[in-house]
Amino acid sequence: MNNRPLGRTGIQVSEIVLGGWPIVDTANPAVNTADSLATVRACFDLGINMLDTAYMYGIDGASERLIARAIEGRREEMVIATKCGVHGVPDVSETFDARPATLRRECEESLRRLGTDRVELLYLHAPDKNTPIAESAGALKRLMDEGKTRAVGASNLNFSQLKEFASACPLTAFQPPYNMLMRQIEAEVLPWCRQHGVSVFAYWPLMKGLFSGTFRRDQVLAPDDCRNNYAMFVGEERRKNHDLVDRLQKIAESSGHTVIELVLNWTVNRPGITAVLCGARRPDQIRGCAAASGWCLTAEQLAQIDQALSDRGEADVRVP
């Protein structure tokens, strides 16, 4: 497993990070505590040393509580990132509240759930339209000054908000959506982050299973599946994306890798990307993601991927 610097903190983090939502996704009947604990614990053997969670993940902080159980006695081996400023259920009933008092309350509750006196990275989960970015950033800076986090990050900000946040608080990390089809941050955000020593942790590198190789053309999404709300999973856009994945599958097979390994390897090696967040609910799933690290795509393979993406054309990346 390759490691990379976390901003300018001196901390090294694995380029594959375990995302903490799928291990407590109550909407998925296949999720169970035994598998979830085993998934987190598998990270030790795989060289994955960073866990990414949030105050809002799971009922009553289930993700943070499960992580605490899974790493008990080995806390110092893990870099823990959590987020505050959003509560509710992802894609269903999110409430954005980035007021300073809320950020402090959620941070302190997260620390209790995690059984630790500090985390390595504390993110603003998302902006709150009723709270100035500078106020939220200032609140996180105070929490950092008090030793409750080693560093501060931000997620889901646009470029203007990101710069405003950084002017009010030292910024170590940024967490945006990014994958082969969602590449908007390449124009301004990634160059700015590289210039300012800000690590970028990409979420949705597999775009909710689109690039997993197991999402079938004939697969019917349940009415309550949140992917119905994403343009990538509907109509002609979905057909084009299946065509793209078929081509990526052939490139991966010719190189002796899975399509997941190929997509994650391509993503994490884009200029400015520090690591990719990978959701998993079983040990075999996180092992499959970890296999994306430690090797390089050839120039020929990269050219083939570029051609496949060019032929696919600009994607409709609208999200709810």
Would you please indicate which residues are annotated as catalytic (active-site) residues? 57
Helix axes 283-290 and 33-46, enclosed angle (nearest 10): 30
Q: Which uninterrupted H or E stretch holds 176?
A: none
Burial of 116 (0-12, 13-18, 19+ CB in 10 A): buried
User: Shortest CA distance to 42 belongs to which of 315, 306, 291?
Assistant: 291
Q: Which of 263, 225, 258 is nearest to 244 (CA)?
A: 263
Both tokens of 39, joined, read: 């998934």
173-175 and 16-19: which strand pairing? Answer: unpaired
Pairing mode, if any, of strands 95-96 and 86-87? antiparallel
